[in-house]
Structures are given as C-alpha cells and as structure tokens.
C-alpha cells in the first residue's frame, strides 16, 4: 500500500497594524441603591475582633462624578466601641471592635449614590514634564514596594514610552496604551506589584493599577490608587455598525486617578481598557498603593493562647438602579493600541500612535480530500484556559497574617466572579477560536457553573463568515442533560462531545455557540480583555437578531481538544 506524505508549511507574515481604539462621547447618569452585606463568624478563642470600613465620599472630575446621597452602617450586634477618623488621603475610616465575640456578626452597608459619567470633549493644556505641582499632590509621586517608580527598569521604560511627548495627556496615553497592549488579565496572579506585571505581562486590576502608576510617577506624573466596587449592570456603546456591550464583575476593583494641573484628578481604568471610568463604579478609598488602601474591609483579631483558627467570612453585594440613562457613541480610529481602548475626545497636543504590526502563523490551504487523509494522532489543546477552578466567590479574603502589633488580620482581595448568565431566553452567546493547523475535533470544554434548573445543553460549531461573525453551520455536539453537570462550589470545565462526528477542521477561524432547552441557570466564566482571540471574538444575538451584530468586551473561557497531524 502506497503511503502519502503531507508536508504542512507554515509562514510568518507581518499583518498591517490594526487599531482597536474608539473615540467615545455621550454620558451615563444613574441613581444607584447599593448594599454590601458582610457576615463574619469569629474563630474560637477570639478575644477582640476589629472591623474597618471606609465611608465613600462625593467626588467630582472632568469625566466621572459621584454624589453620595446617603450612607448607613448597621451591625447585628452592637460593637464594644466605634471610632471615626480621617487619614492623610482624606479617607473617612470607621473602626468597630467587639470583645469576646462568640456569635456570628452581620454588617450591612447601604449607600444611595447618584453617579454621572460625562464624556464631552476635554480641554487640557497641561505641559509635560509637569512643573509647580501642589505640595499636597507631591506625595503621589512616591515610590513604594508595590509601585517602585524609582526602579531603574521602570524609569527606563517610562522614559522610552514618553519620548517626544508634547503634553501631559500625550505622555499619559502613551504609557496606558502600552500597558493595555502588553498586559493580559489574570484573576489570581502570583504577585500584585508593578515589577511582576512588567516582567510577566500578566496581572489583575491591582497589577494594572500599580504598573500604570509606577510608569507615570517615574516621569513625574502624580498618580494615586483608587479602591472601590464595580457593579455588573451592563451598558451598550453604539459603534454605528453594531453594539459593544461592556460589563464588569460585581465586586471590589482597583483603578487610578492621574493629576492634571488644569483639570485636577482624572480617573482612568487601564484594566478595563478605558481612559475614563463608567458610572458603574463606586469610589471608596484612595492611597499610594493597595497596601496603603487597606482600611476598607480589613478584619483583625486577637486570640487566647493555643487557638489558631481563622474567622469565617462571607460578603455579598447587591445593587439596583432606580434611574439609569445611557447614551454612548463611539467611532473607531486608525491609531491607538492594538487591543481595545476607549478614549474620550481630548483637545490637547498628542501623537496618534500607530499600533504595532503583528505576526501570525498562516498555513497553506488544504483541500477537503487532503484534510480527510491526514494522519491525526498528535494531541492538541488550545483556548482561553486560565480561570480559578472550583473557587467559591463568597469569601473574598486573603490569607491570615500577623501585623506589627501582633494581631492577626485578613485584608480584602480582588477575587471577583467574572461570568455571564448565558441561558437567558432571549440571547445566545458565541465565542470564536482560531486554528493554525488542521484539527480533528474531539470535544469542546466551557468554564461553567450550574445553579440549577432543568433541560439540555449543546454546542453548535460554525465557520467564520469572513466578517468576524458566525457563518456556515458545521456540526452540533452531543446533547448534555443539565442534571449530568456535577455540582461544584465554583466554575469547572464542562465538556461537550464531538468525537462521534469525525469533525476535521482546516486552519481558519471558527465559532462555538451555546444552545439549550428547558430552564437551566448556567453562568459562563470570562476573562477581561482578549487574551487569546481577536477583538470582537465574543458575540451574542437577541431573540430578534440573526446578524450577531452585538459584541462583548471580554473573552469566555473555553477549551478546544482534538488531534492534529505531524
């Protein structure tokens, strides 16, 4: 029998630079009724238990404004003492103490906030380098362990990025464009400081904030870290040919504020790839870094000798929008970072940065006959694979450590549930993936959490239509009864079987879309940004929409498994 040999030839081509920068204008205005409920069960032998909170204050800027209409703090058990203070950053701190607590304590924080984001054209004539910085602002040029702005590597990178900057805004957008293009989001990094993200190219919201602040401070731009809460209420941005829907996880978040001599403090969110913050943000605490902004949510305790258990802690956030007006329009630009970025229009001298060209492995085309005759025997796995498996998001606290006073403490962390409810009656969700070599598909895994209900799930496979949307139908996976999805405290891989269909795929772009019957309640985990696939690679359509014209700003976690040929 004569054997056929197939040689797969790959070439690396430099594609033209493709910017994903959008100039955005319009606004949002909402009245938000927000509540955080914390429940703490003291550890055995607890002598004193201390909880700290920061009362949010009203704040105004050229883009984002927060008016705190009411604030209320309730305890299920009256504290032994309750003290209020204001720190050097203006944070209003409340510290409560309980003596020998034996029963669980519930704390309810209720806020009514009127938040407004206004993205009219901004005028700034602030020079770069900055001069005559106010004395109360200079502290935000400080170098810290998490924001090492005096590190030689940080200084060199910041100077390189801002070389030839014509204004402060020019320098700011140069630095943040680079951060957006070179750092990918991960929910649980090994470290939260700027150097970790500079060296690894990954991080969570703390890392994005610390690295941005370090680079900005290194060239003399005062920057402070902001801690607060983001709300999951999505909002749409009209981009003319379609809709971009953006959504944040409901939980704690870190971003930055940059000082302009003629504008004051301006909030920016590099992790959310926006040179503004939406009105879905509740601003709470500011400081030099996230070690400095530790008062809100800090738990401390002392125990009798011989006891080492830690308290059990749960935190739930709820928010309702009594009023919500959104009118945002965006227009795509040829300049800016390669990854998605939203800019308000700024009237100031600055350079339109051309995005970097990128290289991609492209395989020579394979005929259908050749595709069917290949020897598929090499296992292959690809996708957006990084997410925290089987993690409960109800206990968002870091490890217990001993502070300088000899007390044990747990600080808040920024572990948030980034997931979309994908079994709504009106919407269907799809995620793209790209193959650079032929693959015989075995199964597709999705990072799902089953909250109950009944029915069946399946995945439909489509070719790309050539315009970045699902096109020609290819195959459907085996049906999976919801009752067969194992219970997990968090999210886990749920695999959909394609092995019976001998589905061989040539190199190219494809889409997986989740289908369902019955009434399942399923969330699909996602990652901020697009760590694997292209911009616009996560889409959904409504009940009356067959065009898949709506895209999402994040990427679902998915896993493609099969075999490829040598």
What pLDDT digit, counting tens, does each position of 176-220 carry? 999 999 999 998 899 999 999 999 999 999 999 999 999 999 999
Q: What was the pLDDT predicted at 10? A: 30
How does pLDDT run across 500-556, given as a tens digit for each residue? 888 899 999 999 999 999 999 999 999 999 889 888 899 999 877 878 989 999 999
Q: Does domain 29-116+297-321 have CATH number 2.60.40.2250?
A: yes
pLDDT band at 329 (very low <50, low <70, confident <90, very high): very high
Q: Report the C-alpha gap between 220 and 119 in whole angstroms.
A: 26
- The fold adopted by the segment(s) 376-565 is Jelly Rolls (2.60.120)
pTM: 0.91
CA distance 566 to 438: 10
What pLDDT shows up at residue 49? 97
The residue extents of the domains of the chain are 29-116+297-321, 119-288+323-347, 376-565
pLDDT in tens, 125-180: 999 999 999 999 999 999 999 999 999 999 999 999 999 999 999 999 999 999 99
Q: In the predicted model, is pLDDT for residue 12 greater than 60?
A: no
Helix or strand holding residue 172 (H, E): helix 168-182
| Mean pLDDT of the 307-330 span | 94
- In the prediction, which pLDDT does 354 show? 72
CB 117 within 8 A of CB 276: yes
Mean pLDDT of 243-264: 95
At 359 the pLDDT is 47
Residue 333 — very low, low, confident or very high, per pLDDT cuts 50/70/90?
confident
**β-pair type (243-246, 554-556):** unpaired
| Domain 119-288+323-347 in CATH 3.40.50.300 | no
The tokens describing 450, both together, are: 């089953």
pLDDT at residue 7 greater than cutoff 50: no
Buried b (16+ CB within 10 A) or exposed e, 60-91: ebbbbbbebeebeeeeeeebeeeeeeeeebeb
Instruction: Please state the separation of Cα 51 from the chain's center in Å.
Output: 28
Give the pLDDT confidence score for residue 357 in this predicted structure: 56
Tell me the average pLDDT of the chain. 91
Angle at 296 between CA 387 and CA 215, to 5 degrees: 65
Strand boundaries in 204-311, DSSP class E: 223-230, 235-238, 243-246, 251-260, 264-268, 281-287, 299-303
* pLDDT tens readout for residues 537-549: 999 998 778 789 8
The model's pLDDT over 433-467, given as tens digits with 9 standing for 90+, comes to: 999 999 999 999 999 999 999 999 999 999 999 99
* pLDDT for position 349: 82
Higher local confidence (pLDDT), 14 or 70: 70
pLDDT on residue 237: 95
Instruction: Identify which of 394, 392, 397, 395 has the alpha carbon closest to the alpha carbon of residue 410.
Output: 397
Integer Cα distance of 111 and 284 in angstroms: 11
Write the pLDDT tens digit of every residue in 336-383: 888 888 989 999 887 787 766 544 444 556 777 778 788 899 999 999
Distance (Å, rounded) from C-alpha 236 to C-alpha 36?
Answer: 26
Q: Residues 6 or more apart from 191 whose CB is under 8 A from it?
A: none
pLDDT of 97 reads 97
Per-residue burial over 345-368, b if 16 or more Cβ lie within 10 Å, else e, is: ebebebeebebeeeeeeebeebee
């Amino acid at each position: 029998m004569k054997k056929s040999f197939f040689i797969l030839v790959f070439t690396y081509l430099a594609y033209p630079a493709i910017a994903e920068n959008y100039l955005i204008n319009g606004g949002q205005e909402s009245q938000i009724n927000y509540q955080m409920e914390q429940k703490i069960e003291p550890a055995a032998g607890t002598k004193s238990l201390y909880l700290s909170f920061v009362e949010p204050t009203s704040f105004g800027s050229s883009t984002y404004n927060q008016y705190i209409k009411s604030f209320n703090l309730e305890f299920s058990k009256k504290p032994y003492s309750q003290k209020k203070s204001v720190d050097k950053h203006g944070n209003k701190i409340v510290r409560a103490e309980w003596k020998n607590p034996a029963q669980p304590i519930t704390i309810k924080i209720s806020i009514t906030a009127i938040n407004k984001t206004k993205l009219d054209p901004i005028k700034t004539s602030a020079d770069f380098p900055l001069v005559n910085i106010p004395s109360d602002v200079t502290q935000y040029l400080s170098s810290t362990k998490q924001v090492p702005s005096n590190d030689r590597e940080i200084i060199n990178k910041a100077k390189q990025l801002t070389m030839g900057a014509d204004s402060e805004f020019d320098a700011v957008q140069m630095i943040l464009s680079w951060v957006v293009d070179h750092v990918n989001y991960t929910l649980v990094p090994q470290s939260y400081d700027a150097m970790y993200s500079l060296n690894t190219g990954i991080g969570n919201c703390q890392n994005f904030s610390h690295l941005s602040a370090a680079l900005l401070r290194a060239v003399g731009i005062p920057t402070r870290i902001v801690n607060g809460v983001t709300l999951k209420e999505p909002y749409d941005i009209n981009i003319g040919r379609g809709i971009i829907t953006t959504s944040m996880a409901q939980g704690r978040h870190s971003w930055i504020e940059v000082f302009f001599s003629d504008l004051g403090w301006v909030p920016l969110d590099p992790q959310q790839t926006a040179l503004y913050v939406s009105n879905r943000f509740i601003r709470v605490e500011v400081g030099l870094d996230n070690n400095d902004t530790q008062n809100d949510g800090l738990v401390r305790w002392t125990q009798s000798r011989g006891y080492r258990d830690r308290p059990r802690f749960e935190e739930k956030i709820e928010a309702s929008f009594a009023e919500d007006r959104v009118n945002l329009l965006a227009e795509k630009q040829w300049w800016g970072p390669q990854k998605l970025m939203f800019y308000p229009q700024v009237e100031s001298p600055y350079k339109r940065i051309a995005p970097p060209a990128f290289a991609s492995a492209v395989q020579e085309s394979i005929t259908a006959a050749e595709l069917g005759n290949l020897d598929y025997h090499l296992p292959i796995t690809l996708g957006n694979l990084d997410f925290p498996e089987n993690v409960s998001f109800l206990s968002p606290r870091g490890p217990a450590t001993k502070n300088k006073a000899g007390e044990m403490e747990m600080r808040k962390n920024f572990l948030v549930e980034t997931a979309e409810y994908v079994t709504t009656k009106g919407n269907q969700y799809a995620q793209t993936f790209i193959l650079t070599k032929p693959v015989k598909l075995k199964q597709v895994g999705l990072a799902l959490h089953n909250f109950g209900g009944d029915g069946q799930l399946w995945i439909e496979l489509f070719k790309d239509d050539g315009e970045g949307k699902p096109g020609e139908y290819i195959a459907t996976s085996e049906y999976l009864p919801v009752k067969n999805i194992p219970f997990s405290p968090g999210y886990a891989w749920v695999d959909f079987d394609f092995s019976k269909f001998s589905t061989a795929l040539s190199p190219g772009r494809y889409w997986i879309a989740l289908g369902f019957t019955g009434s399942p309640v399923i969330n699909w985990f996602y990652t901020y940004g697009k760590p694997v696939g292209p911009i616009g690679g996560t889409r959904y359509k409504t009940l009356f929409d067959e065009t898949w014209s709506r895209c999402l700003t994040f990427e679902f976690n998915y896993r493609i498994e099969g075999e490829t040929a040598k």
